[in-house]
Amino acid sequence: MLFKNREEAGWQLARKLSRYAGRRDVIVLGIPRGGVEIAFSIAQALGVPMDVFLSRKMGVPGQEELAFGAVAADGTRYLNPRTVALAEIKEEHVEGIAAAALRLLKKREQRYRAGRKPLDVTGMTVILADDGIATGASMEAAVGMLKKMEPERLVVAFPVAPVGVCARLRREADEVVCLAEEREFVSVGQFYRDFSQVTDEEVLDLMQQADAVAAGAAEADSMARAVEDEAEVTVHIDSLRLDGVLHLPRDCVGVVLFAHGSGSSRFSPRNRYVAEMLQRRRIGTLLFDLLTRDEERMDAATAWLRFDIPMLAERMVGATLWLEKHLGARKLPFGYFGASTGAAAALVAAAEVPDRIAAVVSRGGRPDLAADALEKVKVPTLLLVGGLDRVVMGMNETALARLSCEKKLQIVPGASHLFEEPGTLEVVAEAAGAWFVRYLQGTD
């Protein structure tokens, strides 16, 4: 496996960790310096706080790669008694090595924290992140150190490691998340296109950004608690900022994210009508632009981006993770409503995060563009097609046969592709509403 850079690797890890999104008992810790960039991406995607984990491995004299323990910036020590005994390390050597490590850690702490107190991990679920594991010695020492701080659950996350390291770490941590275990392993850097050294200045900048994100999430939570009507929002997906409209009615039973079709946007009148009908059933809605303004201009000229289903699906997943940051939506089931090419993006995204999505509805969709993801969709899926839209009807019939989930194809008589005929869009809204109520609430 080859990662573009640490940022991309972090976002891939975040997908594997999506069940921790938006939880108040979760903290992400990054091991400086490369692990901080990984941790930042994970924390941003999950909407949880992030901090650096300042510890330093203590190596056996003459065999420094072999860790016999670790020391944290607060002076806490972890010693592996077996290694200490086998290496016959004297107490005075332990004291000297620990003192040298602590001096270095104090300098780093002063540089990175600038007076800010570290996050308290006691009783928390901690995700400890690094940019890769070579021998596992440093990570084992860090895990041993963290366990002394009494977290409720300790999760170790990293993109790549040699075969065998993960099995060893699973004996120490509660959970290990690794994207790739490689047999031909020389160094961590061989699995990145860009493995540039992360500087102290970049670590400090990421820490400051994490603080700003945490402050923004708190503001978003406040907004989500208060909103009972439409509110303009900005959907944060990695470095992207996409405009959207969020509606969370009182006593909301779930939220449906809309994936608009070819050449459309959050202002699609048909999607807005369906959204309004869902809101009357106490279903929240998020209509957002899948493309930036520059991308919309490019797509208007070329029509390329509207068919980039993997990219659109990735943004649906990102919007789902972003939405989980909002207190009003955090514990609610989610659904996807996709139109035209947006339906393919919704299906691919649903296949990627089946534990987050309760149901999918496609209106005049192109499920054929979801390709092999169709077999991976596990959530109940409703395909709505106009009776006059013969070509798309055939595509949906073929897709229906490939779906292995609970599914239904409903033909709307007298409707063309855009459901512009009188009364046809009302049928779509009624069918979609009934489908979402059934599977978001678990009732018929």
List alpha helices for 47-80, DSSP H: none
pLDDT at 278 over 60: yes
Mean pLDDT of the chain: 86
pLDDT at 372 over 60: yes
pLDDT at 414 over 90: yes
For the record, the structure tokens of 97 come out as: 């090595």
What's the CATH class of domain 6-209?
A: alpha beta
Cβ atoms 428, 414 nearer than 8 A = no
- Cα separation, 362 vs 385, in Å, equals 8
In this prediction, residue 189 carries a pLDDT of 93
Residue whose C-alpha is closest to residue 51's, from 203, 165, 168, 172: 203
DSSP state at residue 340: T
* 171-219 per-position pLDDT tens digit: 999 999 999 999 999 889 999 999 999 998 998 888 888 776 665 555 4
Cβ neighbours of residue 203 closer than 8 Å, sequence gap 6 or more:
32, 33, 36, 52, 112
pTM of the full structure: 0.51
In this prediction, residue 365 carries a pLDDT of 92
Cβ neighbours of residue 281 closer than 8 Å, sequence gap 6 or more:
253, 433, 436, 437
* 11-44 per-position pLDDT tens digit: 999 989 988 887 888 999 999 889 999 999 998 8
Higher pLDDT, 114 or 143: 143
* 219-253 per-position pLDDT tens digit: 445 444 444 556 788 888 888 898 899 998 877 88
How far lies 62's CA from each of 67, 91, 187, 397, in Å? 11, 16, 21, 69
> Span 218-441: which CATH code?
3.40.50.1820
DSSP of 177-240, one letter per residue? EEEEEESS-S-GGGGBS--PPPPHHHHHHHHHHHHHHHHHHHHHHHHHHH-SS-EEEEEEETTE
Conformational region of residue 92, where left means phi above 0, alpha means psi within -120 to 50, and beta covers everything else? alpha
- Identify whether 438 is preceded by a cis peptide bond (ω within 30 of 0): no
Cβ atoms 1, 31 nearer than 8 A = no
In this prediction, residue 213 carries a pLDDT of 61
Question: Stretch 420-431: mean pLDDT, rounded?
Answer: 92
In this prediction, residue 390 carries a pLDDT of 93
Question: Stretch 53-72: mean pLDDT, rounded?
Answer: 79
Question: Stretch 47-63: mean pLDDT, rounded?
Answer: 84
Residue whose C-alpha is closest to residue 321's, from 372, 369, 293, 355: 355
Percent of the chain residues past pLDDT 70, beyond the cut:
93
In this prediction, residue 230 carries a pLDDT of 62
> At which residue do the structure tokens 């949906």 appear?
396
Question: Stretch 84-101: mean pLDDT, rounded?
Answer: 86
In this prediction, residue 238 carries a pLDDT of 80
What pLDDT band is residue 444 in, cutting at 50, 70 and 90?
very low
Higher pLDDT, 364 or 224: 364
421 phi/psi in degrees, rounded to 5: -70, 145
In this prediction, residue 228 carries a pLDDT of 52
Cβ atoms 42, 13 nearer than 8 A = yes
In this prediction, residue 441 carries a pLDDT of 73
* 282-341 per-position pLDDT tens digit: 899 999 988 888 888 887 787 778 888 999 999 999 999 888 876 444 578 999 999 999
In this prediction, residue 198 carries a pLDDT of 92
313, containing H or E segment? helix 309-323
CATH 3.40.50.1820 domain extents, the chain: 218-441
Least confident residue range of 99-113, 130-144, 212-226, 371-385 = 212-226
CATH 3.40.50.2020 domain extents, the chain: 6-209
For the record, the structure tokens of 199 come out as: 């500087």
Buried b (16+ CB within 10 A) or exposed e, 68-104: bbbbbbeeebbbbeebbeebebeeebbeebbeebbee
pLDDT at 404 over 50: yes
* 101-117 per-position pLDDT tens digit: 888 888 888 888 777 78
pLDDT at 61 over 60: yes
52, containing H or E segment? strand 50-52
Least confident residue range of 85-89, 277-281, 403-407, 422-426 = 85-89
